[in-house]
Amino acid sequence: MNKDTASNFQVTKIISQLKALSSIAANPNDHVTVDSCRRAISVATTLHNGREWVLKSLTATNSDSEAFFILKGDFLMVVAAWLGLTTVCMDNSNYKKVAESHGLLGNALYAAAYDDDEPLARFMIDNGADPCQKEGAYGDALQLAAYRGSEKVARLLLNTDKLQNRNLGPYGLFGSSLQAAATLGHKGIVQLLLPQKNANLKIRHQWQRSPLHIAAQNGHADVVGLLLETRTFDPSVTDRFGDTPLSTAVREGHEAVVQILLECDSVYSRGKRQTRLQTFISKGHSEIVENLLSLSGFYVYPTHIRQPSPTVLAAWMKHVDVLELLLERDGVYIRGFSRARLLRWAALTGMTRIAKLLLELHQTDPNSRSTGEVGTPLHLAAEHNHFGVVRILLEHRDTNPNRQDWEGKTPLMTATEGNHAETARLLLSDGRTVHDIQDRHGMTPLMHAISNGYSDITQLIIA
């Protein structure tokens, strides 16, 4: 028996058993269980067999057939609507079935909202279907139409007297129809909903997010702009996590949305978790950081003592463009991270441009050391083989290439121990470098090179 035959055989067997059970007098609980199973199987089988099977089976006269048993259930109207069989749904014999409803599939009006089937939706409403009926996975037909972008059905529903007089709190999957439209970015639906006096514009559903939050999170710049134009939505409002629409858009990387929100005068600049500047710095958005710094009176520093300053954050994240921008603007942005410490960090991580900027623009001491530091910036750059930083440091007239760390090692010794031949060559090419200084163990750079078998560096030193 092949797979298809086995599947058909099993379905037929189950249906036969259900038919037998449904004819037996049973207690109410058993009857509900059997009826629920029959309904589930009828829906699943009908959807699986498809439109042609439904149309053919509706004309069958054999009341004992499998198809007749399946289709005589309470969901014929609903299933036909979901299959797009509008003519079947609008047949005169089905007028009495407009109230048919399935727990997840809803009624035929619900299906019409999904497919933007205006004729079917109008037929359902004209024959008594309730446009406000709460059902299905999305809450009601209007919320599903908003989610799907079904403008024709949404317009029809909004023009019904019953829906216009409705005033609801949060309901359904999205909380409101406007939230649903904002999620998918259906600008046309949003334009239909905004003028409605009962559109529940300020409903904040899951995680206390407004429609503006949701549109920003999903990158729908045109919807964000439309919502801001109404001046109904506060762009400074925070959700349950302390995020504004702006910080949400930054986190998701939606630059078009960010730019629109930045043009709004009332955008929140001091959130619970980060200032706007910190948020953009952490993402490396140098152009946006530049725009923010140009705003008069913009709040630069974090609101909490444990939050890093802009310069510290940019340095940690290694966003060189942003860090360079901060340093070029004003030395005040270095607050919380001394120039000397920042130079050592640049040497450690290989940020050549930052090292150059600190030495030239801010006149940072190239030989700076602090308590607990193993050496100078030149030691750190040589140890990690950051050739560019070593070159920038050696070009500075005040750099001392012979400064020793707590073990008495010079930058040349550090480069030698790491077998960084090109860095060692660069250090030796500087006329200030002394190659026979001893560390506290009495070892010179040459001794380190020989003892480790580094022939290239050995040849460089003795040349």
Please report the DSSP string for 235-299 in residue order: TT---TTS--HHHHHHHHT-HHHHHHHHTSTT---B-SS-BHHHHHHHHT-HHHHHHHHTSTT--
Give the residue from 199, 214, 246 where a domain finishes. Answer: 199
Q: Is-contact 171 161, C-beta < 8 A? A: no
Number of domains in the chain: 2
**pTM of the entire predicted model:** 0.51
pLDDT of 426 > 80? The answer is yes
State which of 36-50, 122-136, 153-167, 211-225 shows the largest mean pLDDT: 211-225
Higher pLDDT, 13 or 379: 379
* Distance set, CA 281 to CA 27, 285, 301 (Å): 68, 6, 12
Q: Is-contact 107 75, C-beta < 8 A? A: no
Residue 17 lies in a domain: yes
Q: What is the CATH number of the domain that holds 112?
A: 1.25.40.20
Chain mean position to CA 97: 43
Residue 162 lies in a domain: yes
- The whole-number pLDDT of residue 379 equals 94
- The whole-number pLDDT of residue 454 equals 94
Residue 306 lies in a domain: no
Give the residue from 199, 234, 251 where a domain finishes. Answer: 199
Distance linking the first and last C-alpha atoms of the chain: 86
| Enclosing domain of residue 412 | 338-462
- Give residue 25's pLDDT band: very low, low, confident or very high (50, 70, 90): very low
Tokens of 131: 């446009």
Give pLDDT tens digits for 336-395: 456 787 888 889 889 898 888 888 876 788 988 755 556 899 999 999 999 999 999 999
Q: Which residues of 330-340 are buried (b: 16+ CB within 10 A; e: fewer)?
A: eeebbeebebb
Helix axes 255-262, 245-252, angle to 10 degrees: 150
Residue 208 lies in a domain: no
Residue 70 lies in a domain: yes
Q: Is-contact 118 126, C-beta < 8 A? A: no
- The whole-number pLDDT of residue 103 equals 65
* Distance set, CA 336 to CA 195, 332, 365, 458 (Å): 50, 10, 18, 43
Map residue 230 onto helix, strand or coil: coil
- The whole-number pLDDT of residue 189 equals 93
Phi-psi sector, 176: left (phi>0), alpha (psi -120 to 50), beta: beta
- Give residue 132's pLDDT band: very low, low, confident or very high (50, 70, 90): confident
Please state the rounded mean pLDDT for residues 231-253.
Answer: 77
Residue 123 lies in a domain: yes
Give the residue from 199, 233, 256 where a domain finishes. Answer: 199
Higher pLDDT, 457 or 43: 457
Amino acid found at 291: N
d(CA 235, CA 151): 27
Residue 309 lies in a domain: no
Average pLDDT, the chain: 75
Q: Which of 186, 183, 189 is nearest to 205 (CA)?
A: 183
Please state the rounded mean pLDDT for residues 458-463.
Answer: 90
d(CA 119, CA 87): 10
What is the greatest pairwise CA distance in the chain? Answer: 108
- The backbone torsions φ and ψ at residue 139, rounded to the nearest 5 degrees and listed phi first, read 105, -55
pLDDT of 61 > 60? The answer is no
Residue 243 lies in a domain: no
Q: For residue 463, give every residue at least 6 positions away whose Cβ sits within 8 Å of its Cβ, in sequence order, or none.
A: none
Please state the rounded mean pLDDT for residues 427-449.
Answer: 93
Give pLDDT tens digits for 178-227: 889 999 999 999 999 888 765 555 666 666 788 898 999 899 999 999 99
Q: Which residue has the tokens 């150059």?
A: 356
Chain mean position to CA 444: 55
- The whole-number pLDDT of residue 272 equals 40
Q: Is-contact 127 98, C-beta < 8 A? A: yes
d(CA 125, CA 68): 28
